[in-house]
Structure 1
Amino acid sequence: MKTVYVDGKFLPWDKAMIPVDDLAVLRGYAVCDIIRTIGGKPYCLDAHIDRLLSSATKIGLTPAWTKQEIKELVLKVIEKNTHMDEANIRILVTGGSSPDFFSPADNPRLIILATDIPALPAQWYTKGVKVITFFQQRVLPDAKATNYIPAVLALKKAKAQGAVEALYMTRDNMVLEGTTSNLFALVDGTLVTPENGVLKGITRKTVLALGEKLFPVSEQDLSLDTLLSASELFITGTNKGIVPVIQVNDHVIGTGLPGPGTRALIEAMKNQQGGTSNSSSVV
């Protein structure tokens, strides 16, 4: 039985609940983060908690827990779910119960749950994937908030077109990020990723550090035209790792196969994780 931490208590999965007057339920007012384990240990735990606390501050939530307290609770949740070989650890800080059903009352809730890591198709990494573009921008891109309505709509459209992800794009055709991923392109030998208007993922940071050892690296605005002319594209995320992109809308990227630069980064990531394979276990 999975064990969940909710508002000060460790509870069985089917007993975990929050009140219906919590602002996470009423208004979608909450932040979240997701950490995966590798070898049973949370990967980049400090960075994820730092982002969680930063996200809370950016939406006006005052967390009632220190970073160290959250770390200890995450480790306890992992200990209480040892029946799972590897897990995603999802952390949420909600707006708490509200007397007027709108305004925060300085009583946030903390939720930590362990879930199974989804098995992604091996062909994503060997053959690449298709993505689409979708006109959308995050209201607060630096905050990982739980309002994913635009993402749900974008991903539904992507799946209808045989794609695995949708890339957010501004009305002036600047490409930003995916619904749950960051975007990278190899442009004239330089590894490029959008800098502004995106949620800067933990895996993004790791890839930038690895990429600096292989290519010139640039964080900059990325137009759709530049994106489509890139020799290689890939997306990154906690549950994706590095996924080669070989098609955007109806346009084939490069040779239509995962390129050597992307494959080199996948291998570098694998080595950095101690031999973990992207197709079954990623950051």
Structure 2
Amino acid sequence: MKTVYVDGKFLPWDKAVIPVDDLAVLRGYAVCDIIKTIGGHPYCLDAHIDRLLSSAEKVGLTPVWTKAEIKKIVFEVLEKNAPMDEANIRILVTGGSSPDFFSPADNPRLIVLVTDIPALPAQWYTKGVKVITFVQQRSIADAKATNYIPAVLALKKAKAQGAVEALYMTPDKMVLEGTTSNLFALVDGTLVTPEKGVLKGITRKTVLALGEKLFPVSEQDLSLDTLLSASELFITGTNKGIVPVIQVDDHIIGTGMPGPGTRALMSAMADQVGRSCNSPSVI
């Protein structure tokens, strides 16, 4: 049985609980981050913890743990769950117990758990996927909060239409990001990704760095019309990596197959991950 870290204790999975007066339960007031292991080592751990702490600050949570302390707990949880195949590491900072069931009392809780990484269909990468658009924006775009009700509703609609992701879009049709992914487009040979109003993923940062070696790169607003006229699209995420998009709503993108630019970036990403596997000290 897996071991979970909850509020200062390492507990069996079925004993890992938090009080019902925690604001994460009562109000959905918490932040989170997810890290995958590569070769058994957390990939980009520092960047993920930095984002976790930044998210907490942006929503008004005051973590009482240092970055070094969180890293130590992550490695302890991995050790206590060994041996296991590659894993997702989920870290949450909750709002803590509240005397009036609404206001934070500066007593956040830290939760760290590991789960197996779900296998994604190989055809996503060889044939591409369909996504839909969904009018929605994050309330605090650059904070990874646990309030995923809009995402759940958007993904439910996407699945009903045979799509794997929903792209958030403003009422004036500026496309932002996916529910759990960032968005990239190749527009007239330039790699474009939205800059404002999005949660800037760790994989997004990696793709931008890799993309600069292959194309002109621009972080800018991206209208639906520009998106639909792009020669190639793809989404990125911690578990997804780079996933080619060949259809948005009822519109076919480019040739309807993963394009050469997307495939080149997928290859560059695979090379970087391979180097990380061989040099865990750089992760």
Structure 2-normalised TM-score?
A: 0.97
> Partner of 2:77 in structure 1?
77
Q: Partner of 1:257: helix, strand, or coil?
A: coil
Post-superposition Cα deviations, 1:257-280, rounded to whole Å, max 9, x if no partner, equal 000000000000000011799xxx
Is structure 2 residue 97 aligned with structure 1 residue 97?
A: yes
The structural deviation recorded for 1:83 is 2.8
Is structure 2 residue 4 aligned with structure 1 residue 11?
A: no
Q: 1:235 to 1:257 in 2, by over 3 A?
A: same
> Partner of 1:136 in structure 2?
136
Matches within 5 A, 1:22-33: 22-33=22-33
Q: Partner of 1:222: helix, strand, or coil?
A: coil
d(CA) in 2 for partners of 1:72, 1:208: 29
Post-superposition Cα deviations, 1:37-61, rounded to whole Å, max 9, x if no partner, equal 0000000000000000000000000
What percent of counterpart residues are identical? 87
In structure 1, the gaps of 5 or more residues are 278-282
> Partner of 1:122 in structure 2?
122
Matches within 5 A, 1:260-279: 260-274=260-274
Q: Which amino acid aligns with 1:186?
A: L
The structural deviation recorded for 1:84 is 1.5
RMSD: 1.2
Q: Partner of 1:273: helix, strand, or coil?
A: helix
Q: Which amino acid aligns with 2:199?
A: L
> Partner of 2:280 in structure 1?
none
Asked whether the equivalents of residues 90 and 112 of structure 1 are also in contact (C-alpha less than 8 Å), the reply is yes
Q: Which amino acid aligns with 1:14?
A: D
Q: Which amino acid aligns with 2:25?
A: V
The structural deviation recorded for 1:85 is 1.2
d(CA) in 1 for partners of 2:66, 2:83: 28
Q: Which amino acid aligns with 1:104?
A: P
> Partner of 1:146 in structure 2?
146
Structure 1-normalised TM-score?
A: 0.97
d(CA) in 2 for partners of 1:23, 1:51: 21
d(CA) in 2 for partners of 1:230, 1:272: 26
Asked whether the equivalents of residues 133 and 249 of structure 1 are also in contact (C-alpha less than 8 Å), the reply is yes
d(CA) in 2 for partners of 1:220, 1:88: 31
d(CA) in 2 for partners of 1:189, 1:171: 28
Q: Partner of 1:274: helix, strand, or coil?
A: helix
Q: 1:257 to 1:199 in 2, by over 3 A?
A: same
d(CA) in 2 for partners of 1:217, 1:59: 31
> Partner of 1:230 in structure 2?
230
d(CA) in 1 for partners of 2:150, 2:267: 33
- What is the number of residues matched between the two proteins? 278
Asked whether the equivalents of residues 202 and 238 of structure 1 are also in contact (C-alpha less than 8 Å), the reply is yes
d(CA) in 1 for partners of 2:143, 2:50: 11
Q: Which runs of 4+ in 1 moved over 6 A?
A: none
d(CA) in 1 for partners of 2:73, 2:97: 22
Q: Which amino acid aligns with 1:119?
A: A
Q: Partner of 1:139: helix, strand, or coil?
A: coil
Is structure 2 residue 201 aligned with structure 1 residue 194?
A: no
> Partner of 2:217 in structure 1?
217
Post-superposition Cα deviations, 1:48-97, rounded to whole Å, max 9, x if no partner, equal 00000000000000001000000010011111111321100000000000
